Chain A
């Protein structure tokens, strides 16, 4: 991997979720789009400010569930009626009411695994390295009690000096540059 040089973005640290959301809303109003909040617990208001409420996890889960249902049902039908048909106590080979129960379980199994792994996949996890971990204060507070707003350098409006001035007008504890 080539060594990238430069700045990932500017990271503002806040003591409260309220201050962070206020800055996020203002940044969005000012025209910034490439930005992200980092919080120790899910903050709904930050998601509203960033407009990231919609996601594709439910779709992935639905696909998984349907796949589980069809897989289990067709598998049982094939195994019991086609691959090795045995007459057991005169029951029909295609005993579909009995097949519903394993199909029901596999619907849940596949849907649940899709929800979990789909969420991780869409989030790009596992990702052991991220530029943010370079920021000296990020790992101290992001998973504990601090709230971060990162305006990323890839944003067309991003300018090291101006963006820093912009962030400093909110009651941020600190504003630091994040190296790539």
Chain B
């Protein structure tokens, strides 16, 4: 439930209201909450009849940006992928960069919901629902790119092993085919895990709703949940198993995506560091995105006592850790380019740093390594909300440039100088990328309005009233009432 008190003058009950003076344990949510207040606080966001105007404003803006993307998609379907900047030698352009970037963002959601659950990091309870929502919407945005990149999106089902009149099957020896399996499994399991987690909360909404339609709607989604102990025990087992299954899954997804690159015999791609480096980078950018979303939302909906400074501090620590793994990856790439004694590897690295788009490399070093990793070491910086928000955007830009640098600088100058070229994205590339931000924000705004964004039952589990260790029950209730 809570970590042990540390021998640190700042971490004493006198100085820190988050420390329970009775037990000396670090609480996850701010004191003063009881079961009813948690339900009311979270359910009211959904059940209120006064939708904040800011929400409508956000939805309109997001919808407007999403329609830019829809225009780009329509024109693409009409004209073909020729409207994009992808040519030879830059055959993999924005489509792959953005696919890897979005799917990487999704990884933090699964890490929070699955891996931190297995490690009994109960602070994750406050942020797991919207982190998982972020995962699903990020996978939706990511999935658009490869489906559109195949050129004839209406034939996208050819990627699946379905019987067809041509009697041929997918090429199971290709990492691109593995991608289909990995990403589709990831999307399915994420949605299932997310929904299973919401069933008890839908039960609460069904019982609290006033409008007949809301009662019917949430009643349908709750599947008749009634909180029976037998049900809860199976539910807890299933959640734990899903967490245990999602953990190897999330690690495998970005590993498989890194195989798209690592299996190719191209300098800059053909390295064994890619799988761990991709996974760490994914978690790094994903936590940045969780912060980008969590900081405005907790402010807007006044959730500061449920998503506390401790959450932000912990997320900063996870970013520091994964950021260091990413930094190691960059270092190792440079080292191996030299140590391999391969002319092509050496040239690729030189070209990546000092070639025509070398500025991209230095931008990613600045945004991913220099700025975040120099500040995240200090608690003072990690608990500075404005700085953390800025940092989250900086890291996401940096991580986008990482994928850009990996994809583009390895491709546009390969072995033969006669076949060198360059890559320049067209306005349609930019419009589609911008459009996915709109789609993502639009879906996320619908989520915060219609689904409880913080799991009520999991927050209740962390309240002091749930403790059984010898404290008289009635007293506890009176104290906190």
Contact = CB atoms under 8 A, between A and B. Distances in A.
Contact of A142 (B199, B207, B238): B207
Nearest to B200: A143
Given A16-B477, A83-B169, A145-B36, A42 B203 contact: no
B167 interface: yes
Interface in A79-130: 79-80, 83-84, 86, 88, 91, 95, 98-99, 101-102, 104-106, 108-109, 111-113, 115-116, 118-120, 122-123, 125-130
A38 B228 contact: yes
A169 interface: no
B458 A41 contact: yes
Interface string B249-271: 10010001001000000000000
A7 interface: no
A139 interface: yes
B252 A104 contact: yes
B1 interface: no
A101 B204 contact: no
A67 interface: no
Given A109-B188, A112-B242, A144-B36, A84 B169 contact: yes
B181 A95 contact: no
B39 interface: yes
A91 B172 CA distance: 11
B224 A111 contact: no
Contact of A36 (B184, B228, B249): B228
A42 B235 contact: yes
B200 A115 contact: no
B387 interface: no
Interface in B126-181: 161, 167-173, 177-178, 181
Given A16-B473, A18-B473, A79 B227 contact: no
Contact of A116 (B161, B192, B460): B192
A65 B244 CA distance: 12
A50 interface: yes
Contacts of B249: 105, 108, 112
B229 A50 contact: yes
A101 B224 contact: no
Contacts of A139: 206-207
Contact of A57 (B188, B238, B461): B238
A105 B460 CA distance: 34
Given A17-B466, A116-B192, A143-B204, A52 B233 contact: yes
B45 interface: no
Interface residues of A, number: 71
Interface in B70-105: none
B434 interface: no
Given A102-B177, A112-B192, A16 B226 contact: no
Could you say which of B181, B234, B235 has the most chain A C-beta atoms within 10 Å of its C-beta? Answer: B234
Contact of B232 (A39, A79, A88): A39
Given A102-B177, A130-B226, A17 B468 contact: yes
Contacts of A122: 234
A174 interface: no
Interface string B222-246: 0111111111111111100110011
Contact of B227 (A18, A55, A86, A142): A142
A46 interface: yes
B189 A108 contact: yes
B237 to A, nearest CB: 4
A113 B232 CA distance: 18
B234 A95 contact: no
Contacts of A118: 238
Contacts of A130: 224, 226
B248 to A, nearest CB: 7
B208 A144 contact: yes
A3 B375 CA distance: 69
A99 B204 CA distance: 44
Contacts of A21: 468
B314 interface: no
Contact of A55 (B195, B204, B234): B234
B172 A95 contact: yes
B337 interface: no
A47 B241 contact: no
Contacts of B226: 38, 130, 132-133, 138, 142-143
Contacts of A88: 171, 173
Nearest to B473: A18
B181 A116 contact: no
B238 A116 contact: yes
B359 to A, nearest CB: 36
A59 to B, nearest CB: 10
Interface string B5-41: 0000000000000000000000000000011100100
25 contacts: A17-B473, A36-B229, A39-B232, A40-B460, A41-B232, A53-B233, A55-B234, A57-B237, A57-B241, A84-B169, A101-B252, A101-B259, A104-B252, A105-B256, A106-B181, A109-B184, A115-B238, A115-B245, A116-B192, A120-B223, A125-B223, A126-B223, A138-B226, A142-B227, A143-B204
Interface of B: 34-36, 39, 161, 167-173, 177-178, 181-182, 184-185, 188-189, 192-193, 195-196, 199-200, 203-204, 206-208, 219-220, 223-238, 241-242, 245-246, 248-249, 252, 256, 259, 456-458, 460-461, 465-466, 468, 472-474, 476-477
